Amino acid sequence: MSMLETKALTREFGGIIAVNRVDFNVERNMITGLIGPNGAGKTTLFNNITGLDVPSSGKVFFEGRDITGLPSNKVCRLGIARTFQNIRLFKDLSVIDNVMMGRHFHTGSLRNRTLQAVLSYFQVEKEECEEYEAAMKWLEFFGLENLRNDSAGSLPYGYQRELEIARALATEPKLLFLDEPAAGMNPQETDSLMETIRRIRDLGVTVVLIEHDMKLVMSICDNITVLNYGQKIAQGTPSVIQSDPAVIEAYLGTDDDEEDF
């Protein structure tokens, strides 16, 4: 059984069908790529899986459980985390505080925590300490530990991307969605990102990524799904995808379109 499956997932925005009856599968412990031209519906599909948006029809199953339309805080608690195409850090908070936010629900339910916080201020401090160490572990994973007290918004772009991934990992997900993680990165940064994604996979986290950098996608993905105009047009290993005529057509256009270039 796939770790995550969507069944005929559809999302319409007033007559425009952004995602059209898509069956998308993610296998455990693999790196899955989701590619397609701009506007193909990749981010919409992510949003509908992670609870930021509710599908018009169709189903989402995670580890066999129907999670269709579940709010994002509950999706997070089931073990799904994500990053955004346009980085969404808490820019005014420090680097370490951002990661500690990711650890939020690991310290018991909010309701109980507040009660305890009122009853024993001391206990919160202790817990805070363990949490701090756990957050530091993730900063060290990305080599960001020396920047822990800087404000997140002041970091260079590449570090902000890494910090956002660190924060997502701090929620200890089983499944991590990365939306264009290499966007705006130079070739060296992209190479190091590829290495990072492999290290994340080696931790036992299943990774799904949207990416336009074909070199990255083709070299690290085990499985690729291609969307075009909201529909799934291909699925398979990198070599299968590279030689798929429908994919080539979607990316390069048919002969008729050529005059548009």
Residue range at the interface with other proteins (CB under 8 A); choices 33-41, 104-112, 139-147, 244-252: 104-112
88 touches other proteins by CB under 8 A: yes
121 touches other proteins by CB under 8 A: yes
Structure tokens that stand for 49 in this block: 């899986």
Q: Where are the alpha helices (DSSP H) in the chain?
A: 42-50, 72-78, 95-102, 110-119, 121-141, 157-170, 187-202, 214-220, 238-242, 245-252
Q: Out of 105, 191, 236, 248, which residue is the one contacting other proteins (CB under 8 A)?
A: 105
Smallest separation (angstroms) from other proteins to the CB of 139: 16
124 touches other proteins by CB under 8 A: yes
Dist. CA 63–CA 24, nearest whole Å: 14
Smallest separation (angstroms) from other proteins to the CB of 105: 4
Residues 130-169 that bind other proteins (CB under 8 A): 167-168
Which of 131, 213 has the CB closer to other proteins? Answer: 131
113 touches other proteins by CB under 8 A: yes
- For residue 172, give the 3-state DSSP assignment: coil
71 touches other proteins by CB under 8 A: yes
Which of 36, 51 has the CB closer to other proteins? Answer: 51
Neighbour-count burial for 32-56, b at 16+ CB within 10 Å, e otherwise: bbbbbeeebbbbbbbbbbbbebebe
117 touches other proteins by CB under 8 A: yes
Which of 88, 198 has the CB closer to other proteins? Answer: 88
Q: Out of 8, 29, 66, 90, which residue is the one contacting other proteins (CB under 8 A)?
A: 90
- For residue 230, give the 3-state DSSP assignment: coil
Q: Rounded to 5 degrees, what are φ and ψ at 168? A: -65, -40
255 near 246, Cβ under 8 Å?
Answer: no
Which of 52, 136 has the CB closer to other proteins? Answer: 52
Q: Rounded to 5 degrees, what are φ and ψ at 63? A: 50, 40
C-alpha 202, offset from chain centre: 16
Helices and strands: H and E segment counts in the chain: 10, 10
Q: Out of 77, 198, 199, 215, which residue is the one contacting other proteins (CB under 8 A)?
A: 77
Q: Out of 23, 66, 92, 195, which residue is the one contacting other proteins (CB under 8 A)?
A: 92
145 near 136, Cβ under 8 Å?
Answer: yes
Number of residues interacting with other proteins: please give it, by CB under 8 A: 33
Q: Which residues in this chain contact other proteins in the complex, by CB under 8 A?
A: 50-52, 71-73, 76-77, 81-82, 84, 86, 88, 90-93, 97, 100-102, 104-105, 107, 110, 113-114, 117, 121, 124, 167-168, 171
